[in-house]
Each structure stands twice: as C-alpha cells, then as structure tokens.
Structure 1
Amino acid sequence: MVNDIVADLITRIRNANCVKAEGVLVLRTKLTVSIVKILKEEGFIDHLEEVDIPVKHQKVANKYLLLSLKYKGVKQKPYITALKRISKPGLRVYVSKSNIPKVLGGIGIAVISTSKGLMTDRKARIEGIGGEVLCYIW
C-alpha cells in the first residue's frame, strides 16, 4: 500500500524516463488523474489511458493509468528532465498568491493544489490564489 501517492507517481515517471520506457503504469486516483492531465496539457506526456488489472483473490480489479512518455531526437532525450516533490506528508509547503514560485524562470511548472483544484503556477498567478506546492516539473 502506498502512503504518498504523489511521490509514487513522481518516482514511477522518473524511473521510466531513466530507462527510456515507452509507458508507465500509475495507480488511478483523483489526485493522480489531475496531475497527469496537467502533464498532458503542458506537453510532457503523449497520451494516457485507463487500464483495469485484476488482482488475485479479489473480485474488483485495480484501476491504473497507462502513461505514454514523450522523447525527442535520435538519442531519445525525455521531455521531462526532472521531477521534484516539494510538499511532503511530514512537511507541507504552502504559498500565498504573491509567493508562487517560478520553476527555472518559467521553463518548468509547479503543480499547486488550490481551493479551485490542481493547477500550474502560471494559472494560479492568473487566478490570484495560493495553495500547497505539490511538485516541480521541468
């Protein structure tokens, strides 16, 4: 059982990028679906699909998301060069609307959990709301 779903998602994507895997399976929750949709909108992943995987001794199948990762060039360099978990279960990191971080001067994105749902740092600045900084992606 996974206690930190966001850290598990980030670790799976990071490990898949290291071995240049075409796809990666991540557990489907509302939070992971929201983060993956942001990754798709920002162009970090190609496409995603929902997959049901049956489990022994259980009647209900576990739901997973199959993410197709994007690579560029002949050398297959990944679009996602780094993922960093910021707010952790033991130490939450909150920012106000005036302190929203810019990742690499705007090249990367920060995923922020706000009262209006998950959004990127750019959108949170436009909306004028702060929240919990979940992770940085560049």
Structure 2
Amino acid sequence: MSVTDPISDMLTRIRNAHRALHADLAFPASKLKAAIAVILKDEGYIADFSVSEASLSINLKYQGGKPLISGLKRISKPGRRVYVGAEAIPKVQNGLGISILSTSRGILEGGKARELNVGGELLCEIW
C-alpha cells in the first residue's frame, strides 16, 4: 500500500508508539525521514535511530514514564503547502518546541534556519 504523505505517516507512528509506551518503532526509510530523525535526536526528543536499507528504527525517549514528545503537528500538507520566510519562522509553544523546515540548505530546525537567514517549507512542529 502506498502512502500519500510519508511525513504524516512517520509522525503518526511516533505519536501512536508514544501513547502505547513502546520503546522503539520501525517504518519504511527515506532520506527525508532520516533527516527528520537526525533533528529529533540532536534536539533530544528521541534516544537514538538507525537506518538500514529499507527500514528506519527509532528508539523513543521517556522521562519519568512520560513521553518526551507531547505533541506533533504536520503543517505543510500535500494539499496545502506552507512556505515561510526566515523572519516568519514560528516559535513553537513559546520556544519550548521546534519547527522543522525543508530549505535550500537541506532539512533544518527552525532556530538554525533563522540563524542562517533561510526560509522554506514548514514541514512540522514538535513540542
């Protein structure tokens, strides 16, 4: 079965695994999903991840039995793309979360994109 929106599928799988308190999860890999996983690891939202030929495995992170990721939201969708300039990159949950953008310099976290003064497609927000 083909997936129309692979990023939404990835976020939904992470959300569902957190709600079920799973330690890890696996789903089909792509370069875009791996780049998002790198940002999640760098920002401390997941413990670790590994990429094999066709699969991406993520080890989820918990603190005191509660998931570190309390919310995931897909912003730009296949039916409605959302683009922002460098000055319009939103602060998620008053700075407590992150936004992930697809820019001309690759997949970047919102703060890093603001520093580099590049805008792009606002993929998702995580808090």
**Per-residue deviation, 1:31:** 0.4
Alignment of 1:43-122 (within 5 A): 43-51=44-52, 63-73=54-64, 76-122=65-111
Report the TM-score, using the length of structure 1 for normalisation. Answer: 0.89
Unaligned runs of 5+ in 1: 53-62
Q: Give the percent of matched residue pairs that are identical in Structure 1 and Structure 2.
A: 47
Is residue 2:17 matched to residue 1:16?
yes
3-state secondary structure, aligned to 1:26: strand
Higher alpha-carbon Rg = 1
Q: Which runs of 5+ in 2 are unaligned?
A: none
RMSD: 0.9
- How many angstroms apart in 2 are the aligned matches of 1:51 and 1:71? 24
Instruction: Using structure 2 for the length normalisation, give the TM-score.
Output: 0.96
- Please state how far the C-alpha of 1:87 moved relative to its aligned partner: 0.2
Q: What SS class does the counterpart of residue 92 from structure 1 fall into?
A: coil
Q: Residues 22-69 of structure 1: CA distance to partner in whole angstroms, max 9, x if unpaired?
A: 0011211010000000000000111112345xxxxxxxxxx1111000
Secondary structure at 2:18's aligned position in 1?
helix
- 1:101-129: CA deviation from partner (whole Å, max 9, x where unpaired): 00011110000110000001100110001
